[in-house]
Amino acid sequence: MILLRHPICGTLRGARSLSTRASAILSSLDIPVGAAELPGVYDGQWSGSGEVLESVCPATGEVLARVRSATPDELHEALGKSKEAYLHLRTVPAPKRGELLRQIREALSAKRDVLGALVTLEMGKIKTEGIGEVQEFVDICDYAVGLSRMMNGRVVASERPGHTILEVPNPIGVVGVLTAFNFPVAVYGWNFALSVAAGNANVWKPSPSTPLCSIAITKIIARVLEKNGLPGAVSTLITGGKNVGEAIVESRDIPLVSFTGSEAVGRVVGKAVQSRFGKSILELGGNNASIIMPDADMQLAVPAVFFGAIGTAGQRCTSTRRLYLHRAIAPKFLDTLQKLYATINVGDPLVDGTLLGPLHTRAAVGIYSDAVQRLRQSGAEILTGGKTYDHAALSQGNFVQPTISVPKTADPADKIWSTETFAPILNVGLFDELEQAIEWNNAVPQGLSSSLWTRDIRNLGKWIGPEGSDAGIVNVNVGTSGAEIGAAFGGNKVYAWKQYVRWSACTVNFSDAAPLAQGVDFST
């Protein structure tokens, strides 16, 4: 049995009057609660007269706000102002940009808890995860403050006397940031902090279903920019749908596009940016596996798998979706995990103690149901979950039961294993040798995060070495989900700032001669 921790109070989907708690959260962030529509474009001034986006609370179905997105003209004007803002910001010394980020960090920290509540209200993740997401933005600002004094180039020895070669990092221009619903604050933070430290202006296109989070963050950043005499278009916000995203991706005035979202859309974005010789940063799907060896510490491994599979209702790109258990410990592990699943508190994500909130949209519930149906039709054993909740108090929200299934085979080529389902579904396979589990881990198209649980240093060495996991995140005795900001996240975070600059190779001649490289003689 999964426990209903708290009833949810809210208005029904489509209601125009806000609940008390929604009004309190929005008011604390200077978002008008009485307005029929909110402007969803910021480039130094707020505007927006395009199509209307609805922000809907996934826990109650309450319509939180209606936001006016950008028209084509407003989009064009905002992109132009972003370019102008870049021309200003690039002349500001990097340590001064670091001071700007320090002030933004302080402003975000002062509103951390209420911003976290807004993430919970609009996205649906539980309260502690919402606050943790805002803390990520705070932390990456700390990182970028220090980075602003360490964005160094290189001095390269020249073969020519009286010459030296410098590799100099310069700002790249305007960075387009397209973010997803599941981390409506943190992903922009990751990009914005490093990009501003590098001297770039930024254009933020958030998910159409989380416009309020982007508006709240933009208001905070805008106040700091204004206080420092900098143009607001250093952090431009353009809400909208597919047309806005396409315009950003196709714009030659945006040399770098950072996209977070599905593999399918990521392929389109990558091709479009590449076709104009732009640069792209793509953070896409994750079909992440945890491997449990017989010598694993079960007291650590079971709770980690529990969080990895259920945290954010399975809507993290690092969520644990595949669990490979050594046959010798599989029955005990699954029994312990099922008992833990039975104790989970589901309900209002804004209430302390709730561990399972809703899926983000009704469409996501359909995706969950379809995936469960495919499992049943294939003959998989459903150990727990596999349906939506029938509690009256949850009927207006997008709540589904966390599911553990044991498919008939562990063939990674089967769509059950190779397809990422953004929902709390955990598929279990049994193995006899670590090499077999590693092969399964590596056989799917996605390669974001992975985790091995063992106390044998030989297993550890194999797992992190050339014969081990091919994912970007290769953890040992740590779950697949919950990465820190200072380490790699499917890439090389230590040097991530180098993607936000253009590199200039500068050969300097300080001699009285002008020899050619490679000894070429072109004299007459």
What does residue 474 show for φ and ψ, rounded to 5 degrees? -125, 95
* Phi and psi, residue 345, nearest 5°: -90, 115
Say whether 381 is catalytic: no
Q: Which of 54, 283, 420, 439 is catalytic?
A: 283
DSSP-derived 3-state class of residue 15? coil
Q: What is the 3-state secondary structure (H, E, C) of 402-422?
A: CEEEECCCCCCCCHHHHCCCC
- Give me the sheet containing 63-68, strands edge to edge: 38-39, 63-68, 52-56
How far is residue 170 from each of residues 243, 264, 345, 473, measured CA to CA in Å?
31, 32, 50, 29
Residues near 79 by beta carbon (within 8 Å), at least 6 away in sequence: 174, 203, 236, 247, 248, 251, 253, 254
Residues 6+ apart with CB under 8 A from 411: 417
Q: Are 284 and 261 in contact (CB under 8 A)?
A: yes
Give Cα 469 to chain centroid, integer Å. 22
- Give the integer Cα–Cα distance in Å for 378 and 388: 20
DSSP letter (8 states) at residue 440: H
Distance CA 279, CA 80 (A): 20
Q: Active-site residues: which are they?
A: 283
